[in-house]
Amino acid sequence: MLILASSSPRRRDLLTQAGLDFTVDAADIDERMQPGEAAATYVQRLAVEKAQAVWERNAARNSDDEPLIVLGADTTVVLDGEIMGKPADQTEARRMLKALSGRNHQVLTGIAAVTRAGVVSEVEITQVFFDLIDEQELVRYLASGEPLDKAGAYGIQGYAARWIPRIEGCFFNVVGLPLARTMALLARARAGQNEAEPGQA
């Protein structure tokens, strides 16, 4: 039994695309950064905390016949060491996009899987290159409302794709979940869970 500890429709779509059967139980945790916390540490910690929180409230559903795995994830955009989360409003979205214009930045996703055997977690990093953003296009994009629910104020799978000539790394990571790495992580989690079964430890 797989539970996705995220309300992101993009992550739901990606897991469905990968052919996985799962349910959704979004985590509600404090997502503030800790003092001096690096971006990679931050997204990995949040992924783990999300997965652990949902595991704890669903632990009773775990069984030998249907072992429970909870998948957590957190994605952020980083430019010059500054973390860009979801913008609070159009003004902040404009600031973010103007900063990204004509530059390259990193998209980091922490992923974590929790089972009765413990936690496995990793971080995927993708380099994203932006062209200069035309002012009229920027105004049109901001008016669409699309930037407001996305880290860094853009989605590579939407209107903003016109500004991204290339990336280095996993495309799906920029969407919100590095699929190949997630599948490998889930396989590790299942293997660890099997090793924890009575008589196999």
How many Å apart are CA 51 and CA 27, to the nearest integer? 7
CB within 8 Å of 23: residues ≥ 6 apart: 1, 2, 3, 4
> What's the chain's length in residues?
201
How many Å apart are CA 92 and CA 94, to the nearest integer? 5
How many Å apart are CA 8 and CA 155, to the nearest integer? 12
| Active-site residue identified among 28, 64, 74, 149 | 74
How many Å apart are CA 102 and CA 72, to the nearest integer? 32
In the residue annotation, 134 being an active-site residue is answered as no
* Strand-pair category, 69-79 with 104-115: antiparallel
First to last CA, the chain: 21
CB within 8 Å of 148: residues ≥ 6 apart: 86, 87, 89, 90, 93
Residue 197 phi/psi, 5-degree rounding, is -70, 150
The pair of structure tokens assigned to 178 is 């590095």
Catalytic residue ranges: 74
